[in-house]
Amino acid sequence: MLARSVLVVIGAYLLGSVSFAYLIGRLRGVDIRKVGTRNVGGSNVWHTVGHLEGVVAAIADIGKGAVAVWAAKALGCGEWTVALTGVAVVAGHNWPVFLGFQGGRGIGASLGAMLVMTPKAMGVALIPFAVGEFTKTLALGVAIGMAILPIAAWAFGEPLPTIVACLILLAFMIIRRLTGIGVWEEIRRAEDKRRLIVNRLLYDNPQGRGYVPPRR
């Protein structure tokens, strides 16, 4: 039983480490780690490679998160193993072994994992996602949604492992927004470090609302 749980969690991490955004960019002759925001995710693919490619990358990221958690449940794993599987697939996306442990923000993988693990809570979290997309402040909507997620999971009576997983994924988002490629150097050089950190946490960019990411 323990061996199966360990294998499931490791498998989830390895699945998460498969960066569809990076692979799609490479198929188009672009290393997305060197263009745009340099983030290895669907959003950067959208802005620097193409809209269709960005959508495909985002769907693939959501899919791998969902598949990992679904597989853990289908194999009859316990609540803690299922929760750890969701965390592991996102950790793989954020810190992929195949890309030198420098990946994306993990939002797509988190969305997929939580849609399977706690669909009601994720449904609530998707409301600020949608509002952010409509008001062109998607990063802020995502931040609010991820913050709401563990509260919604608790309100819907989800088990402790699921709530803990939601909290860890929120922490992952915060860490990645502050440790993306070039971000730490950006913070080190900034005159107003506090403002830059707030912009990074809320808007995932250095300038705040209205920022347009650089293209190729």
Per-residue pLDDT tens over the stretch 3-39: 899 999 999 999 999 999 999 999 999 999 998 888 8
What percentage of the chain has pLDDT greater than the value 70?
Answer: 97
Tokens representing residue 130 in the block: 């949608």
Tokens representing residue 93 in the block: 């996306």
If we measure between CA atoms, which residue out of 57, 90, 89, 96 comes closest to residue 72? 89
In this structure, is residue 38 part of a structural domain?
yes
If we measure between CA atoms, which residue out of 110, 89, 106, 111 comes closest to residue 40? 106
Residue 52 to residue 45: CA distance in whole angstroms? 9
In this structure, is residue 8 part of a structural domain?
yes
Number of domains in the chain: 1
Are the beta carbons of 216 and 36 closer than 8 angstroms? Answer: yes
Q: Which domain holds residue 188?
A: 2-203
Are the beta carbons of 60 and 201 closer than 8 angstroms? Answer: no
If we measure between CA atoms, which residue out of 175, 155, 47 comes closest to residue 107? 175
Which segments of 38-159 does DSSP mark as H helices, in order? 42-48, 51-74, 79-94, 107-117, 119-134, 138-155
In this structure, is residue 62 part of a structural domain?
yes
In this structure, is residue 214 part of a structural domain?
no
Residue 210 has what pLDDT? 60
In this structure, is residue 213 part of a structural domain?
no
What tens digit of pLDDT does each residue of 157-213 get? 999 999 999 999 999 999 999 998 788 888 888 888 889 899 999 998 888 776 555
Residue 80 has what pLDDT? 97
Range 49-53 average pLDDT? 93
If we measure between CA atoms, which residue out of 143, 146, 79, 110 comes closest to residue 16? 110
Tokens representing residue 204 in the block: 């995932």
Residue 204 to residue 216: CA distance in whole angstroms? 19
Sorting pLDDT into bands at 50, 70 and 90, what band is 216?
A: very low
In this structure, is residue 98 part of a structural domain?
yes
Neighbours of 38 (CB within 10 A): 18
What's this model's pTM, rounded to 2 decimal places? 0.93
In this structure, is residue 211 part of a structural domain?
no
- φ, ψ (nearest 5 deg) of residue 104: -95, -160
Tokens representing residue 135 in the block: 């008001």
- φ, ψ (nearest 5 deg) of residue 102: -125, 100
Residue 209 has what pLDDT? 74
In this structure, is residue 147 part of a structural domain?
yes
- φ, ψ (nearest 5 deg) of residue 36: 55, -130
